[in-house]
Amino acid sequence: MNDNPLLALKALGQHVWLDNLSRTLLQDGTLQRLISADGIDGVTSNPAIFQKALADSSCYREDLERLRGSSLDAEGRYESLVITDIQAACDLLRPACVSSLGATGYVSLEVSPALAHDMAGTIAAAQRLYQAVGRENLLIKVPA
Q: Give the active site residues.
A: 141
C-alpha 46/C-alpha 40 separation (Å) is 18
> How many C-beta neighbours within 10 Å does residue 65 have?
9
Residues 6+ apart with CB under 8 A from 11: 2
Residues 6+ apart with CB under 8 A from 82: 45, 50, 109
Residues 6+ apart with CB under 8 A from 1: 8
- Determine contact, residues 77/70, Cβ cutoff 8 Å: yes
